[in-house]
Chain A
Amino acid sequence: MKLVLAYINPFKLEEVRDAVKATGASGMSVTNVEGFGRQTGHTETYRGAEYDVSFTPKLRIEILVSDSMTPAVVSAIETSARSGSIGDGKIAVMPLDDVIRIRTGERGEEAI
């Protein structure tokens, strides 16, 4: 079992959601995040003063997947979130020790 963690451009959310759904993944979570990478922030202007906003808004997506589904989900995000310009984001894949569905107490792949 894997945890797929992706940081994507906010305007790509719909496409990524549709692509992930199409792979048959059972769900995903989305969080608003801000940060910097190669793409640094921007400036805001107020009454003539410029403010350095070092962080760019992004979305963090978390998906729990079985090992067999992992390549499909990762490539779905990769293709749907790509615009080709700087700031398209990153995908990370991490091993999972266990998954528990709280309502039923199911464990492991059954709970995904």
Chain B
Amino acid sequence: MTHPQGGIYERLRRSARNPIVRKNVAVLMTGKMIGVGAVLMLIHWFSGTAAFAADPAPDPVASVNAINTMWTLIAAFLVFGMQVGFVMLEAGFARERESVNILVEGIADTCICGVFFWAIGFAFMFEDGNGFIGTHGFLLQGLPDTYGATGVPLLAFWVFQFAFADTASTITSGAMVGRCGFVGDLLYSVGVTGFIYPIIGHWAWGPDGWLVAKGFHDFAGSTVVHTIGGTISLAGALALGPRLGRVFKRDGGGPMLPHNVIFGATGGLILWFGWYGFNPGSTLSALDVQGIGRVSFNTTMAACTGGLGALFISYARTRKWELGLVTNGFLGGLVAITCPCYWVSPTGAAIIGLVAAFVVIWGLDLLEYVRIDDPIGAVPVHMMAGIWGTLSLGLFATGEFGAPTPLGADVSAPLAGLLYGGGMDLLIAQAIGSAAVTVTVFVIAMVLMYAVKATGTLRISEAGEIEGLDRHEHGISAYPEFVTHAAGPILSHGVGTMPGRR
């Protein structure tokens, strides 16, 4: 019988010599020390916060409103997340052979947008000038620390607006999928994010825009973002013509099949999620608490009725509950509610979304009938539902809500639409704004697209299109392992191989 203490001592000695045990003990002890450190840090932080709460330090920049800045930035990050939704939606609803191209374009357009919106776009759109264009603040030089009276730092406001501009830019590529050359895409993207979007946007959102003076209202951009993006996309589709082999319904064909409907629909849902930054964030004010709640609700409701509407229309037509149409339906509802979301009631939002479902589906039919190849439905969803949403404000504005301010809602000048006893004034202002923007953008975009076409870069060569945009322009297919590879990388003109690769 061994002595118990001697046994323990023996075991400790043995264990201490065993490298595995030594390592385990070291890991355990390090973990414990990190944990204790974290707890001490938390205590330190909380006591620090408590001290501040008891003795508030003077605000160094009185005009900056911290909570509004947080709100605007959170919204900006959500809106940026819509890029993920867009590339997934577009790639999923396109053919496999053009999906890498969609991803490269989405990323490149984002980068182009950042640079150009910093250099010229923001100045054109959001700074003083005349009714048609802003003329100050190029490269954001010489501007105050906060934007206007928002209490939001200029650079935070820029990030929010950059995400919007980027959205318009990506929408543009939608109807041009599958046959637009990459260089052509780079060229027209500069035109879109550097010039068309910011200059036309200035009319509605600039401090002295002429549409603002006319009483035109576009809360979060049914017109400014979606109609502009969708209209440029339509011009692009017209300048390009349909993809090779696209046969339209009246000629006995139909849309080309998508390559991954799961990507398409999840991309759509990510867009819906991002819309919670797009619309509620457009208050730029977290202190308008009723406002952000109402906008979030209305955004949700229009998406729901838009989706349901499209779902039942699809079933009535084909006896199938179609994934592609329900996705485009809720997106149409979201686009439509983007303009009126601040000023309408829940009932109004539900009706606006439902009507948008019809607009989107009839829009798809119309494009098919006039033989325009819009692979993912960008024109009906963004341009047409955007026009409907803009007009709907003139019908459904309840006459209760005015505008958000940094410290709360301002109801001194409420908007009232035709159905709520406001008369025709608002509806006329909305119609003028929507028509002016749509027509001008369409004309300018046609000029831009034909100018790019004249350089020979807008449409890919026929051989390239048969080979597929992905392989031709980007050198890889979306799922490279599905192709049988004989060898690895060519190390020097075809002699090298990489073992282990199929």
On A, residues with C-beta under 8 Å from B are: 11, 14, 34, 41-46, 49-55, 57
In the complex, are the beta carbons of B490 and A50 less than 8 A apart? yes
In the complex, are the beta carbons of B471 and A44 less than 8 A apart? yes
CB distance from B9 to the nearest CB of A (A): 58
A55 to B484 CA separation, bound complex (whole angstroms): 7
A9 to B228 CA separation, bound complex (whole angstroms): 40
In the complex, are the beta carbons of A52 and B476 less than 8 A apart? no
A57 to B483 CA separation, bound complex (whole angstroms): 8
List the A side residues contacting B484 at CB < 8 Å.
Answer: 34, 53, 55
Q: How many residues of B contact A (CB 8 A)?
A: 19
Whether a CB of chain A sits under 8 angstroms from the CB of B488 is yes
Known: A11-B466, A14-B245, A52-B494. A44 touches B486 (CB 8 A): no
Whether a CB of chain A sits under 8 angstroms from the CB of B320 is no
In the complex, are the beta carbons of B489 and A51 less than 8 A apart? yes
Whether a CB of chain A sits under 8 angstroms from the CB of B474 is yes
List the B side residues contacting A57 at CB < 8 Å.
Answer: 483
Q: Mark B214-238, 1 if CB is under 8 A from A, else 0.
A: 0000000000000000000000000
List the B side residues contacting A53 at CB < 8 Å.
Answer: 483-486
Whether a CB of chain A sits under 8 angstroms from the CB of B475 is yes
CB distance from A2 to the nearest CB of B (A): 30
In the complex, are the beta carbons of B486 and A54 less than 8 A apart? yes
In the complex, are the beta carbons of B486 and A41 less than 8 A apart? yes
A49 to B491 CA separation, bound complex (whole angstroms): 8
| CB nearest neighbor in B for A41 | B486
List the A side residues contacting B485 at CB < 8 Å.
Answer: 51-54
| Choice from A11, A42, A50, A55 contacting B471 with Cβ under 8 Å | A42
CB distance from B5 to the nearest CB of A (A): 63
A60 to B332 CA separation, bound complex (whole angstroms): 42
In the complex, are the beta carbons of B487 and A52 less than 8 A apart? yes
Q: Which of A14, A52, A54, A55 has the most CB of B within 10 A?
A: A52
A41 to B477 CA separation, bound complex (whole angstroms): 14
